[in-house]
């Protein structure tokens, strides 16, 4: 069993929003992360080339990335049961592995947000994007699902970049967690609502979440390709993650 400040017995899932990036980026991602985790598992949208290392799931270019979790639970459950937890990240993030040993693998690494009734989130950009197909309309479809009604959830959370990465320790990797991910993906609730809503509903105790800083490069995407900028973000400012969304 690894120490609580060691993620070498945890799984890392990496999801490619766009399959065409696999060929150019996968090996670099493996080199960055493989020494720090028990196993790397790759997912991507529709296949454009043969690659036995990648699981191809139709995730609607990342809008429905949480669809992978049902497949993950079925295919990798035995590996998951022998791990300390699961880390998940999109391919356009950089997780700061140089400070992983400052974080506790027995606690959540993620944004803690208060869950609110769906009507309290008026103004979400997801409600105007695609005429609300993946926002308010998707949530209302979800809330009419009899299986979801049994989950006793009527409040949600979400904010920009909230679906790009998270870490959950083993105690949260239950059938109930993956059932929720499956329901949210079935009704195509956008990942930036689905992932925070699932996590913040299964754990409301703020003490179970760890503090971190990150950098979201929305609007400054050119900086993401500048080696010196990213180096300073991770090693001088000590951000836990640098996200290009």
| pLDDT tens-place string over residues 50-72 | 788 999 999 998 899 999 999 99
Non-local (6+) Cβ contacts of 47 within 8 A are 19, 54, 56
Q: Are strands 85-90 and 165-169 parallel, antiparallel or unpaired?
A: antiparallel
Residue 114 confidence class, pLDDT cut points 50, 70, 90:
confident
User: Which tens digit of pLDDT belongs to each residue from 3-29?
Assistant: 789 999 999 999 998 888 898 899 999
Q: Give this prediction's pTM.
A: 0.89
Residue 110 sits at the vertex; the CA angle it makes with 109 and 112, to the nearest 5 degrees, is 125
Condensed to tens digits (0 to 9), the pLDDT of residues 127-186 reads 777 788 898 899 999 999 999 999 999 999 876 557 889 999 999 999 999 999 999 999
Residue 90: what pLDDT?
A: 92
Sign of CA dihedral 183, 194, 108, 165: positive
Number of H helices, E strands in the chain: 9, 10
Task: Find tokens 């870490």 and name the residue.
Answer: 167
Rounded Cα distance, 104 and 238, in Å:
16
Q: How far apart are CA 59 and CA 227, in angstroms?
A: 30
> How many other C-beta atoms can be found within 10 angstroms of the C-beta atom of residue 20?
12
Map tokens 């609730």 to a residue. Answer: 189
198 vs 132, which has greater pLDDT?
198
Residue 245 has what pLDDT? 43
Structural domains in the chain, sorted by start: 10-243 (3.90.550)
What is the per-residue pLDDT for 147? Answer: 98
User: Is the confidence at residue 241, as pLDDT, over 90?
Assistant: no
CA distances (Å), origin 116, targets 107, 133, 181, 198, 235: 23, 20, 18, 13, 36
Of all residues in the chain, what percent carry a pLDDT higher than 90? Answer: 60
Token match 């429905």: residue? 64
Among 92, 111, 103, smallest CA distance to 166 is for 111
> Which residue matches tokens 């973000």?
233
Q: What is the pLDDT of residue 127?
A: 76
Helix ranges (H only) for 38-110 are 68-81
Helices (DSSP H) in 82-226: which residue ranges? 125-128, 136-143, 146-149, 175-186, 191-202, 221-224
Structure tokens at 57: 């799931």
**pLDDT reported for residue 182:** 98
CB 82 within 8 A of CB 11: no
Tokens of 204: 């409301």
């Amino acid at each position: 069993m690894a120490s609580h400040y060691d993620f070498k017995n945890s799984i890392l899932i990496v999801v490619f929003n766009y399959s065409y990036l696999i060929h150019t980026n996968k090996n670099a991602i493996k080199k960055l992360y493989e020494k720090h985790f028990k196993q790397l598992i790759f997912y991507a949208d529709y296949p454009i080339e043969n690659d036995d290392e990648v699981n191809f799931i139709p995730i609607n270019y990342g809008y429905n990335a949480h669809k992978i979790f049902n497949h993950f639970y079925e295919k990798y459950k035995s590996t998951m049961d022998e791990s300390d937890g699961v880390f998940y990240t999109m391919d356009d993030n950089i997780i700061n592995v140089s400070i992983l040993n400052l974080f506790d693998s027995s606690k959540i690494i993620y944004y803690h947000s208060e869950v609110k009734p769906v009507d309290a989130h008026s103004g979400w950009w997801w409600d105007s994007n695609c005429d609300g197909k993946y926002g308010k309309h998707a949530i209302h479809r979800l809330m009419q699902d009899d299986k979801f009604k049994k989950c006793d959830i009527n409040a949600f959370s979400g904010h920009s970049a909230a679906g790009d990465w998270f870490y959950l320790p083993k105690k949260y990797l239950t059938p109930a967690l993956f059932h929720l991910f499956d329901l949210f993906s079935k009704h195509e609730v956008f990942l930036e609502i689905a992932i925070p809503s699932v996590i913040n509903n299964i754990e409301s105790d703020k003490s179970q979440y760890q503090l971190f800083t990150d950098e979201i490069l929305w609007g400054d995407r050119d900086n993401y390709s500048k080696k010196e900028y990213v180096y300073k973000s991770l090693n001088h400012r000590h951000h836990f993650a640098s996200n290009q969304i």
